[in-house]
Structure 1
Amino acid sequence: MWRWLTSLRMRLTILLVVAGVAGALIYAGVSRWPVPQVLHWLRTQEAFSTHASSAGVYGGVLISLVVLLPLALWLAGVVMAPVSRLLRALEGAVASYRDGDFSFSIAASRRDELGQLIRMHNALGQTLREQRQHLVQRELLLDTVVQNTPVALVLTDAIGRVAYANIASRHLFNNGRSLQGMDFSQLLAAGPDALRQAVESGEDALLSVEMDGGEETFHLSQRAFRLQGRPHRLQLFRRMTRELSRQEVATWKRVIRVISHELNNSLAPISSLAHSGAELARRGDVARLPGVFATIGERANHLHGFIAGYASFAKLPAPRLAPVEWPPFLDALALHCRFRLLAEAPERPGIFDAVQIEQVLINLIKNAHEAGGDEDEVSLSITQAGRDLRIEVADRGPGMSETVLAQALLPFYSTKRAGTGLGLALAREITEAHGGRVLLANREGGGLRVTLLLPQATPR
């Protein structure tokens, strides 16, 4: 109840009532008493008779205005004074917020709507101060992490000047000195050409450069974005030498394990059969010798094919890009494997190394037949996807688990008991040599889809 009585609306109501009562009193005074009596008395005086009679009504109006105007001004001042003070305080608060200072607050002990507005404003200021403090702490944490990361980070503005650089980038490009405001292209011009060319290409890249008397491998990642409405570019230079060395050692260990396993699987039977053949010859049991020699030959041929496969993977030549007409290419592919063409091939010739891509498709279609699904569901589709040529081989086998999908393209990885782990790895090697990529995905309803994306560049 007290809050309602002290509300701004109630105060304005009381002031309007006072103004109405004052107006009624003035009206009664001018029309009833005492103004008519005073005017009548003035008319009875001879000196003022003419003047008073001519100013009777107008004089009353004038007297009313003289009384009402000060009263109206006083009432307006009483009503608008707290509003004016609040507006001036809010104006100062807005100017303070604009300058980034959120410590401004308004002191007031009012219990009406203006007081509630002031308390809400002060609560807003407190919230902004806390958020500003948390933001400063997060920025400090982020800057600490970025400054101490081993990845060299360089942020450049629209004209190529360095807007931000961490400690690793300072050591990489300027011997530990600040890069702020420097022209990044000039810094690159003073460094290795391979690094400069990779940055100018605007694409992500893995490159090796000569630095400090040795070879360093970097992974370059570049992104363009707008910061505060202005274009910026972020370059990340990550040293990969140690990581690649560890991966290389791990790969060699895996190769040695695979080769040792395959050699043991072939040499052990050959050694045993040779001993058995010698024993049969000593006994004079020559009838069984052809079978022994045939088994030895089969194992030797398997071992020869295994070694030849590794040799071909290691000696893969650079692709020779040339226009390839689709009808003769598909006819030649059909002589080696069976597949169902989903749609007509594009009319425009493809641009790739026909021999290498044919070998890739033979391996993929062979894998699709060995997947265990319906052989009639092994399909091949060729479409043009923008600037890329999209070649898909699909089957209706069991597909692959997430773990197998993540490792299927790695060399020497195979889930087959007699597999070499080179089929998909060779497909990836040939496709990436063309500047493309390989995608593996399970199909809805079962099966696997292997997609080759080949960029259709003009052959040299």
Structure 2
Amino acid sequence: MRLRSLEVRLAVLLAVAALTGALLYIGVTHWPLPQILAWLHEGLKRSMRAPDRTDAVIICAIILLPLSWWFAHIVMQPVKRLLRALEGAVASYRDGDFSISIAVHRSDELGDLIRVHNELGQTLREQRQNLAQRELLLDTVVQNTPVALVLTDANGRVAYANIAARHLFNEGRSLSGLHFATLIADAPEALRKATEGSEDALFSVEMDGSEETFHLSQRAFRLQGRPHRLQLFRRMTRELSRQEVAAWKRVIRVVSHELNNSLAPISSLAHSGAELARRGTIERLPGVFATIGERAKHLHGFIDGYARFAKLPTPRVAAVEWKPFLDGLALHCSFQLHGHAPTQPGWFDPVQIEQVLINLVKNAHESGSAPEGVTLALTQVGHELRIEVADRGPGMSEAVLAQALLPFYSTKRSGTGLGLALAREISEAHGGRIALANREDGGLRVTLVLPQSAS
């Protein structure tokens, strides 16, 4: 126990008060007040009675009440000062001012409270300073990013906009407080339609005599309890051009590689055939011509595959009965139907979806899976049809999964890299999507999701 704690001080004051009361009671009832009254009686020759116990209690109360108030004042005065200081500090914290410190030095419990309060204030000041620095850094980054950023409130008025947004929408002038819909009222229709929706969009507009492509990202959230909308306008023309050039380079490399693989043996065989004909050894010519025809056929199939990918027609969506569709699919590839087909007809282009499923089932067999491990599952979920082709092969690595749907990407030596890309193109043309994932118990699952008619 500390010798200067509030508890010790209060105990000492109470002991002093008790001792004072006892001494006062003795002074009134025994000495010296009775002796003083006797002396006055003899000196003044007046009749004065000695105080009895009741009088003693009254006299003690009259003296002890002010003394008790003085003791209470001594005990509570530092507590009251501290409470007033804490009240002012809390009011400053509420107003966002964390610079208040209490300059009182005590070694008791109140001193501990003051020290903890000052440490709290120092921590809050440091956090406020760090937060201000991070906000400054974030604002600097946001203001100087080439992506145009516009934050609007529930009324559609601009609450925040960076430099790119000011140059894009208001010739470099501030956008704060302006109604964003009014601001873009004279903008190209493609931009206005994109901002009217709630989904991300890709649109092109005429700017400075050329076409500029933008990607719009939109998010709704609550800021300080109020709804806000964040819109990001990113110029994509340069990026799309770069991706287009990269795609063409990849096409050229793949086509060049395949052409060389076919034309080099054809040229060699043609030279060998000519030499055999010159020598009169004609019995080997049919084999030479057959090999040339085989390589030419392979080259024709390769070119035809690219042509079909580039000229994919618009899907002719129609109601498809499952039994004849699955029977026809079974003629081209073997699979195990997992579960039952939906009772309702499917809604898609049967020719294109059949081609997708043939490619997927073929890939499943080529993965090394056992034939009985290649399964096809059909599930109707709301207004979506889920088609899953699964196998029991080794699956794919994370790197391959990330690129498997890209055109011209293939892990096979003789692959064109168009099978999964064509499946993706067809699914997206139907308004659907395709996804690849490794199965937990081994193998790969390819999921094709197609929207269905609401009727």
TM-score class normalised by the smaller sequence? over 0.9
How has the CA–CA distance of structure 1 residues 321 and 161 changed in structure 2, closer, same or farther, with 3 Å as cutoff? farther
Please state if 1:11 is matched with 2:9.
yes
**Structure 2: runs of 5+ lacking an equivalent:** none
Query: 8 Å contact 1:35–1:60 — kept in the other structure?
Result: no
Query: 8 Å contact 1:351–1:458 — kept in the other structure?
Result: no
Q: Of 122, 145, 150, which residue of structure 2 is paired with 1:126?
A: 122
Give the Cα–Cα distance (whole angstroms) in 2 for the partners of residues 23 and 386 of structure 1. Answer: 89
Query: 8 Å contact 1:389–1:453 — kept in the other structure?
Result: yes
Question: What residue is the counterpart of 1:325 in the other structure?
Answer: 321
How has the CA–CA distance of structure 1 residues 278 and 104 changed in structure 2, closer, same or farther, with 3 Å as cutoff? same
Query: 8 Å contact 2:217–2:231 — kept in the other structure?
Result: yes
Give how far 1:46 is off.
11
Question: What residue is the counterpart of 2:19 in the other structure?
Answer: 21
Query: 8 Å contact 2:150–2:230 — kept in the other structure?
Result: yes
Letter in 1 for 2:246: A
- Greater Cα offset, 136-145 or 119-128: 119-128
Q: Of 260, 265, 268, which residue of structure 2 is paired with 1:269?
A: 265
Q: Of 441, 444, 447, which residue of structure 1 is paired with 2:437?
A: 441
Question: What residue is the counterpart of 2:213 in the other structure?
Answer: 217
Q: Of 226, 232, 238, which residue of structure 2 is paired with 1:242?
A: 238
Question: What residue is the counterpart of 2:420 in the other structure?
Answer: 424
Letter in 2 for 1:428: R
How has the CA–CA distance of structure 1 residues 436 and 187 changed in structure 2, closer, same or farther, with 3 Å as cutoff? farther
SS in 1 for 2:102: coil
Q: How does 1:159-174 map to 2 (within 5 A)?
A: 159-174=155-170
Give the Cα–Cα distance (whole angstroms) in 1 for the partners of residues 273 and 223 of structure 2. Answer: 79
Counting aligned pairs with the same residue, the percent is 74
Give how far 1:62 is off.
2.9
Give the Cα–Cα distance (whole angstroms) in 2 for the partners of residues 332 and 207 of structure 1. Answer: 41
Question: What residue is the counterpart of 1:335 in the other structure?
Answer: 331
SS in 1 for 2:231: strand
Query: 8 Å contact 1:42–1:48 — kept in the other structure?
Result: no
Give how far 1:331 is off.
2.0
- Greater Cα offset, 132-141 or 168-177: 168-177
Question: What residue is the counterpart of 1:89 in the other structure?
Answer: 85
Query: 8 Å contact 1:152–1:172 — kept in the other structure?
Result: yes
Question: What residue is the counterpart of 1:405 in the other structure?
Answer: 401
Give the paired residue count: 454
Query: 8 Å contact 1:379–1:394 — kept in the other structure?
Result: yes
Question: What residue is the counterpart of 1:370 in the other structure?
Answer: 366
**CA deviations over 1:419-438 (Å, ceiling 9, x no partner):** 11100111111112222222
**CA deviations over 1:201-230 (Å, ceiling 9, x no partner):** 211222322222222122221222211111
**TM-score (normalised: structure 1):** 0.92
How has the CA–CA distance of structure 1 residues 455 and 201 changed in structure 2, closer, same or farther, with 3 Å as cutoff? farther
How has the CA–CA distance of structure 1 residues 46 and 347 changed in structure 2, closer, same or farther, with 3 Å as cutoff? farther
SS in 2 for 1:258: helix
Give how far 1:386 is off.
4.7
Give how far 1:127 is off.
1.3
**CA deviations over 1:340-367 (Å, ceiling 9, x no partner):** 1111122233332222111111111111
Query: 8 Å contact 2:25–2:56 — kept in the other structure?
Result: no
How has the CA–CA distance of structure 1 residues 60 and 457 changed in structure 2, closer, same or farther, with 3 Å as cutoff? farther
Give the Cα–Cα distance (whole angstroms) in 2 for the partners of residues 32 and 329 of structure 1. Answer: 122
Give how far 1:32 is off.
4.3
Give the Cα–Cα distance (whole angstroms) in 1 for the partners of residues 20 and 150 of structure 2. Answer: 76
Q: How does 1:117-156 map to 2 (within 5 A)?
A: 117-156=113-152
Question: What residue is the counterpart of 1:394 in the other structure?
Answer: 390
- Greater Cα offset, 155-164 or 3-12: 3-12
Please state if 1:227 is matched with 2:223.
yes
Letter in 2 for 1:18: V
Give how far 1:42 is off.
10
SS in 1 for 2:172: coil
**TM-score (normalised: structure 2):** 0.92
Query: 8 Å contact 1:392–1:452 — kept in the other structure?
Result: yes
**CA deviations over 1:227-271 (Å, ceiling 9, x no partner):** 111111211111111111111111111111111121222222222
How has the CA–CA distance of structure 1 residues 18 and 386 changed in structure 2, closer, same or farther, with 3 Å as cutoff? farther
How has the CA–CA distance of structure 1 residues 40 and 329 changed in structure 2, closer, same or farther, with 3 Å as cutoff? farther
**Structure 1: runs of 5+ lacking an equivalent:** none
Q: Of 89, 98, 104, which residue of structure 2 is paired with 1:102?
A: 98
Q: How does 1:46-125 map to 2 (within 5 A)?
A: 59-125=55-121
Letter in 2 for 1:26: L
Query: 8 Å contact 1:277–1:292 — kept in the other structure?
Result: yes
Query: 8 Å contact 2:432–2:450 — kept in the other structure?
Result: yes
Q: Of 304, 307, 322, which residue of structure 1 is paired with 2:300?
A: 304
Letter in 1 for 2:436: L
